Amino acid sequence: MKIAVVGTGYVGLVTGTCFADTGNDVTCIDIDQKKIDNLNKGIIPIYEPGLTEMVLHNYEAQRLHFTTDLPAAIKPAEVVYLAVGTPQGEDGAANLSAMWAVVEAISPHLRDDAVVVTKSTVPVGTNERIYSMLKDFTGRNCHVASNPEFLKEGAAIEDFMKPDRVVVGVRDEEDAEVLRQLYKPFLRTEKPFLVMSPQSAEMTKYVANALLSTKISFINEMANLCEKMGGDINDVRRGIGHDSRIGFAFLFPGVGYGGSCFPKDVRALAAMAEEHGTVPQMLRSVDEVNERQKTVMIDKVKTHFDGKLEGKTITVWGLAFKPRTDDIREAPALVLIDWMLEQGATVRVQDPEALEKVKADYGDKLTYCERRMGSVDGADALVIMTEWKDYHSPDFAEMYQLMASPVIFDGRNLYEPERMKRRGYTYHSIGRPT
């Protein structure tokens, strides 16, 4: 199939590349000339395991093209994916100005039978609006479908290649069939291809992210309760997880969720709910609990040092909002770092992928460490904010010798409190006895 993907951000690039990988002829379009020039030179703008190799492979096979020439790419396309950014506006609602501009720009060039598909996370009703805009611009009923993505950063290729399900929102079966054929190679393990209305598909995306965020805020609140009332959240998690109605997934307590999706989508859904005259109590609470959770390490560090951080050297392991990405958007680590800098601490940071991005924002305010052990040499405390694999089994004996005082604040519960005590550390974690 001939496919055009408008927007070569995270979603667009992964979608286009994976469709090219199953033999389709894909052209990815962007208005950012530099980005397109770089992609044509094999320079990939994001860090995502496996993506670079796959882009290069399909580019060399001439199934994947990058261009700023929108009309030329749209004219032959049987399927046009819209994957432009939908950033959060000041009121929390999604800003769709880029989407509307693209819809207008593609309209004169669309084939009569082209299926236009939204892949970006868009408010419920966006598909309907695109449908009526295209009708105004072209004078005919166009094919507009919704196909939300459920990719996780760091596992995007795997998620795209082996989805748990594919959701499509369509007006007629013909459009569903086009997308069914496109997805056939990815659904060979009998995972479902779910057809529904465009509104339901749009809503599904928000509800999925809102429910996952709710699970995290819930377990974080319970972890904080364990700290106050006694109990170990890890045992509690095991105690509830074996109930098949509950399960284990997304119930790891930590320092709050971050990234470009959960915070934005929870707020956008709440804003939509308010726009429709309802009070989104759950959603607002999920967001508030999360904002609060991003400061739990501040409370712990503050208590330990009696509020006096001046002259202290604190090392932070993990800056990205989660492992296997260099993404620092809404990352809990940054909230802690800002506070420690305000308090006059010397802050050293270590991360396997995100150092460059943090350096671009913080410059010489921080000390950037390539090596884990070097980063704790002479430190008064270590705070772990992201559960990168590298942090799971450091040489505790060596670290004990290196640190000025052996204090660890573990925001991801990587180690066993009892063992840490035996190793001589003062060890603080989330929802577990100290």
Size of the site for ligand UGA (CB under 6 A): 20
Binding test (CB under 6 A) with ligand UGA, winner from 300, 322, 324, 432: 322
Least Cβ distance, residue 251 to ligand UGA (angstroms): 6
Q: Restricting to residues 113-132, which ones interact with ligand UGA according to CB under 6 A?
A: 121
Residues in contact with 272: Cβ distance below 8 Å, sequence separation at least 6, in sequence order? 93, 123, 124, 206
251 known ligand binder: yes
Work out the number of other CB atoms within 10 angstroms of the CB of residue 89: 14
User: Of 322 and 348, which has the nearer Cβ to ligand UGA?
Assistant: 322
- Interface with ligand UGA, residue 212, by CB under 6 A: yes
User: Of 290 and 346, which has the nearer Cβ to ligand UGA?
Assistant: 290
Least Cβ distance, residue 92 to ligand UGA (angstroms): 16
Least Cβ distance, residue 75 to ligand UGA (angstroms): 30
Is 261 noted as a catalytic residue in this protein?
yes
- Interface with ligand UGA, residue 206, by CB under 6 A: no
- Work out the angle at residue 284's Cα, subtended by the Cα atoms of residues 278 and 286, and round it to the nearest 5 degrees: 135
- Interface with ligand UGA, residue 293, by CB under 6 A: no
- Interface with ligand UGA, residue 262, by CB under 6 A: yes
Binding test (CB under 6 A) with ligand UGA, winner from 36, 130, 216, 270: 216
User: Of 254 and 406, which has the nearer Cβ to ligand UGA?
Assistant: 254
274 known ligand binder: no
Question: Near ligand UGA by CB under 6 A, which window of 143-151, 297-305, 309-317, 369-377?
Answer: 143-151
Question: Near ligand UGA by CB under 6 A, which window of 101-109, 127-135, 149-157, 297-305?
Answer: 149-157
Least Cβ distance, residue 11 to ligand UGA (angstroms): 7
Least Cβ distance, residue 364 to ligand UGA (angstroms): 27
Q: Classify residue 334 by burial, with Cβ atoms within 10 Å: 0-12, 13-18, 19+.
A: buried
Binding test (CB under 6 A) with ligand UGA, winner from 3, 18, 151, 179: 151
- Interface with ligand UGA, residue 152, by CB under 6 A: yes
Least Cβ distance, residue 399 to ligand UGA (angstroms): 24
SS3 for the chain, per residue? CEEEEECCCHHHHHHHHHHHHCCCEEEEECCCHHHHHHHHCCCCCCCCCCHHHHHHHHHHCCCEEEECCHHHHHCCCCEEEECCCCCECCCCCECCHHHHHHHHHHHHHCCCCCEEEECCCCCCCHHHHHHHHHHHHHCCCCEEEECCCCCCCCCHHHHHHCCCCEEEECCCHHHHHHHHHHHHHHCCCCCCEEEECHHHHHHHHHHHHHHHHHHHHHHHHHHHHHHHHCCCHHHHHHHHHCCCCCCCCCCCCCCCCCCCCHHHHHHHHHHHHHHCCCCCHHHHHHHHHHHHHCCHHHHHHHHHCCCCCCCCEEEEECCCCCCCCCCCCCCHHHHHHHHHHHCCCEEEEECCCCHHHHHHHHHHHCEEECCHHHHHCCCCEEEECCCCHHHCCCCHHHHHHHCCCCEEEECCCCCCHHHHHHCCCEEECCCCCC
What are phi and psi for residue 299, nearest 5 degrees?
A: -55, -45
Give me the catalytic one of 28, 226, 261, 369.
Answer: 261
Q: Restricting to residues 219-258, which ones interact with ligand UGA according to CB under 6 A?
A: 250-252, 254, 257-258
- Interface with ligand UGA, residue 321, by CB under 6 A: yes
- Interface with ligand UGA, residue 354, by CB under 6 A: no
Binding test (CB under 6 A) with ligand UGA, winner from 149, 202, 227, 287: 149
Binding site for ligand UGA (CB under 6 A): 121, 149-153, 209, 212, 216, 250-252, 254, 257-259, 261-262, 321-322
Q: Which residues are catalytic?
A: 261
Which residues are known binding-site members for NAD(+)?
30, 35, 86, 121, 153, 264, 329
Which residues are known binding-site members for substrate?
150-153, 205, 250-254, 258, 322
Which residues are known binding-site members?
30, 35, 86, 121, 150-153, 205, 250-254, 258, 264, 322, 329
